[in-house]
Amino acid sequence: MKKYAINKVLGTAAVLAVAAYTLQGCKPDIEAGTPSAGAADFSNFIAVGNSLTAGFADNGLNYEGQATSYPLILAQAMQATGKGPAQFLQPLFPVGSAGTGGLRLAGITNGLPVLAPVFPDSSQIIERIRTLFPDSITNKYAQVPNGMEIHNLGVPGIRVADIESPVYGVSNNIAFNPFFERMLPDNQGFMSYLSYVAKRRPTFFTNWLGNNDVLGYASAGGTGFLTNMADFTASYGKMLDTLTRGGAKGLIATVPKVTSAPYFTTVPPTPIVLTDPTQVALLNGAYAARNAAIKRFNTLLPDAAKLDTISFRLGPNAPVIAVSVTGPDSVYRRFGGPAGAFRQLRADRGELILLPAQTVLPTGAGTATPLGNQFALTREELDAINARTNEINTYIRAQATSRNLALFDAEAFLDQVKAGQVYFDGTNITAAFVRGGAFSLDGIHPTPRGYALIANEMMKAINAKYGSNLSPVNAANYPALQFPK
Amino acid sequence: MKRRLTLSLLALGAAGQAFAGGYQVSVQGQKQIGMGHTGTALAWDASSLFFNPGSLGFLKKSSVVAGASFINSTVAYTGPNGQAYRAETDNPISTPFAAYGAFFLDKNKKLVLAAGAYTPFGSTVKWADGWRGQFLLNELSLRAIFTNATVAYRINDMFSVGAGFNYAFGSVDLKRSVDINTGTATAPQYGQAQLKGNASGIGFNAGIHAQLTEELSVGVSYRSKVDMKVSGGDATIRTSPALLGTTFPASGATTFDATLPLPANTNLGIGYKVNKDLTLAADITLAHWSAYKELRFDFKENFGTGLSSASPRNYKDAFIYRVGANYQASKLIALRGGAYLDQTPVEAGYMTPETPDANRIGLTLGIGITPTENLSIDASLLFINGAKREQTQADINAAGTQTSVLPGTYQQRAFAPGIQVSYAF
């Protein structure tokens, strides 16, 4: 009897346990999350911005870049909630067209990338564009079909300082923005970007303007102008007033530090490597008289104001650079000669040589003749750029708070990228030129991978602000560079 | 008194923090599988070679055993923070097998010579094409076959000891996508790296079986670590020719060396015959997983990351707790049931796509049919339910494994039917 009871109890328990266990199945039952819109209304989404918003990469805008733009990635994530925009139209170049050209990766030689223009002959660029888009006077690109309401309003090159200019999109022989021009209907007449945006009634927007207000100056080596802060805040504020007019929610973004892009950090400050003592002596000889004159002049100056002499030695050297004849370096005009004001770049002060200098340094620029002003940023120029970037970002962050908008802090995020702290599906994304994966061949604009990562970060900010669940994209669907087959 | 001993052993098992996971496979004998893979203190047949070589001295007859299981395992992954992303493995059915023979050398049946071949480790993981973790792993096949020769000796009616030598051989085959795009931005194409090689290693096993009373038996056994060494395996790469000769070998192929530790196991078991028909068993295994510090490949030529690639594993030792019962329902049929808790050796932040391990519960059923006195046909069914286990970005950052794991949640479930034939003589 006792034996029977024990056996029966054990047997029943085992059968019950196994039955319960098998009922839950032999397959994993974890489920994917469900996208949702939360408190946001994504039904009419527009993206305002510059080249970053347009999908510009590799120094050009083409179909492939547009098809991997962050606004499109966001729109698709919004559509996955079932409450997204019915359509998200972009001012697409024809499928498969190289658009405005740009750069391609031709190969790797001795471990270094070899870049080549998509259109090898520069006159060919104009020709190709004319041929591809045969509708124009000069440099005009294929028009967006008349009356088509597009949703990606990114205009490469646009500054906040430009958004109220009524002639910005009117083709003429002096200056206009062909990317804006092509968005406008035929015979539009005068229309500012701000007015163009004001025609829309979005329920949700992203606004990432402001980069070019510092970048234009910085990428030209400190030539041209930084947008002044009063103009910036006035125009930026009007844009936000316009976008939020109908109660739209949205996201705004800060401006990355220029030094987070490889355009500013790839060429070392001492790129001139001398191996021949004769050449060193020749160069120093050529500057000997000037150095002597500077030394005499320096005896009249307090220590803090003393001017630099030029010297070369065996090994890596900083280049001689042309400097602005209006800033604090203008004193070098006294020792200028035909090339104007010049001095040797100060690596110890963090002065930078820009990416395009890579093409002229091998021809001897920076030794007997100065490297052009547009190829370098001096300490004074960098200080001005950094100060303006800070002011702009402080303003944008304050706007996000006061207007209760989501914020993508691009400055903080790209600092992390530069520090090598950003990972994407098991891959490490860094700011290293070509190898890093974040930046395209122009050293300023992201790769599709970089744009996807930015879109994912924006989704995080939107989800946090509006309680939505926009679901990020996978790294592998958005490649970094395109390597030769 | 006897019952109290059994219960306290069970209580001890429950008190410890559950379970051995990793790439260890608990399907080494169908009678034992049916009983939760217990068997350190029970002398069923020649399969004791695996469970406790000391038990072989208590066999009543010489025996041969051969069987296999068919593991159907699926792992699912979902993205972190409620992301709308899910991926699942499409693993082929794996078929670990076990074959043993034990032969008495003397007419007193004290000295036993035994030999066996079995597969205590192995892993097959094949993720869906294009899944999120493809730059970490597409596919892994890890096989290890242990061959063993053992001698056991029954000292007296209470004690028997045994020890043997293991020679293990096997193979590894790992494929992952290479993050170099040779397609376009909208239709990317990625190449693939493959590491494939044969491995071998040696070890030993030993055990003591004590038949304390007619009803109660206790066993202790140990199987040593086996370092599976791959020497001169084939590393091949399919990628952009622009990277061949620098980042990757010019020919697209080189060789690699690697070592994968198959950890030692210490087993403690108890068997208790409740009555003529009912036998209970409980085992505790300590799997010495802390031997697995990192997965390292050394290449003859640059292979992506230079001449070597290493990713940390930092496994910790883990326990497995098992209980099982065998009920002789009739002369012809025995029914079995059991369960085990298998503690993961993988710490937070180290859950890789190749072993996304979690604590597991195994539940087993078995049936034995003895059509003649000497012939036995045994079948088992094993269900494995891995816990849902989340790995956060914070876990990953703390472990520093950002380039070898994904944040997200994994879950594994498996079932494995098995069958074997044994013959005693």
Element (H, E) at A74: helix A70-79
* % of residues, chain A, pLDDT over 90: 70
Residue B395 with chain A: CB contacts under 8 Å:
none
Q: Rounded to an integer, what distance in angstroms lies between the CA atom of residue B74 and that of residue B94?
A: 12
Picking from B15, B4, B44, the residue whose alpha carbon sits closest to that of residue B279 is: B44
DSSP 8-state class, residue A435: T
In this complex, do B413 and A27 lie within 8 Å of one another by their Cβ atoms?
A: yes
Q: Report the half-sphere exposure of B42 (CA within 13 A, side-chain side).
A: 24
- Four-point Cα dihedral B30, B24, B126, A20, nearest 10: 60
**Per-residue model confidence as pLDDT tens digits over B262-318:** 999 999 999 999 999 999 999 999 999 999 999 999 999 999 888 999 889 999 999
Domains of chain B as residue ranges with CATH? 2-424 (2.40.160.60)
In this complex, do A425 and B135 lie within 8 Å of one another by their Cβ atoms?
A: yes
Residue A108 with chain B: CB contacts under 8 Å:
242-243, 246
Closest in B75, B132, B325 to A28, CB measured: B75
Is the four-CA dihedral A447, A448, A452, A458 of positive or negative sign?
positive
Closest in B185, B242, B402 to A107, CB measured: B242
DSSP 8-state class, residue B407: S
Distance to chain A for B13, nearest Cα, Å: 19
In this complex, do A26 and B246 lie within 8 Å of one another by their Cβ atoms?
A: no
In this complex, do A21 and B383 lie within 8 Å of one another by their Cβ atoms?
A: yes
Picking from B232, B222, B163, the residue whose alpha carbon sits closest to that of residue B198 is: B232
Closest in A6, A32, A437 to B85, CB measured: A32
Q: Rounded to an integer, what distance in angstroms lies between the CA atom of residue A288 and that of residue B235?
A: 58
What ipTM does the predicted assembly reach?
A: 0.88
Q: Where are the alpha helices (DSSP H) in A331-447?
A: 357-360, 379-402, 410-418
**Per-residue model confidence as pLDDT tens digits over A422-466:** 999 989 999 999 989 999 999 999 999 999 999 999 999 999 999
Among left, alpha and beta (phi > 0; psi -120 to 50; other), residue B8 is alpha
Residues 6 or more apart whose Cβ sits within 8 Å of residue A128? A98, A101, A119
**Token code pair at residue B72:** 């159907």
Residue with the larger pLDDT of the pair A139 and A145: A145
Q: What angle do CA B345, B347, B353 make, to 5 degrees?
A: 85
In this complex, do A30 and B403 lie within 8 Å of one another by their Cβ atoms?
A: no
Phi then psi dihedrals of residue B350, to 5 deg: -115, 15
Q: Rounded to an integer, what distance in angstroms lies between the CA atom of residue B416 and that of residue B381?
A: 6
In this complex, do A27 and B81 lie within 8 Å of one another by their Cβ atoms?
A: no
Residue of chain A whose alpha carbon sits nearest to that of B244: A108
DSSP 8-state class, residue B158: S
When pLDDT is cut at 50, 70 and 90, the band that residue B122 belongs to is confident
Strands A342-344 and B253-262: unpaired
Q: Rounded to an integer, what distance in angstroms lies between the CA atom of residue A477 and that of residue A480?
A: 10
In this complex, do B186 and A33 lie within 8 Å of one another by their Cβ atoms?
A: no
Distance to chain A for B58, nearest Cα, Å: 26
Contact A447, A264 (CB under 8 A): no
Q: At what angle do helices A211-219 and A379-402 cross, to 10 degrees?
A: 170
**Per-residue model confidence as pLDDT tens digits over A355-374:** 999 989 999 999 999 999 99
In this complex, do B242 and A105 lie within 8 Å of one another by their Cβ atoms?
A: yes
When pLDDT is cut at 50, 70 and 90, the band that residue B2 belongs to is very low
Q: Rounded to an integer, what distance in angstroms lies between the CA atom of residue A327 and that of residue A457?
A: 39
Strands A152-154 and A45-49: parallel
* % of residues, chain B, pLDDT over 90: 86
Q: How many CB atoms lie within 10 A of CB B162?
A: 26
**Per-residue model confidence as pLDDT tens digits over A246-290:** 999 999 999 999 889 999 999 999 999 999 999 999 999 999 999
Distance to chain A for B189, nearest Cα, Å: 9
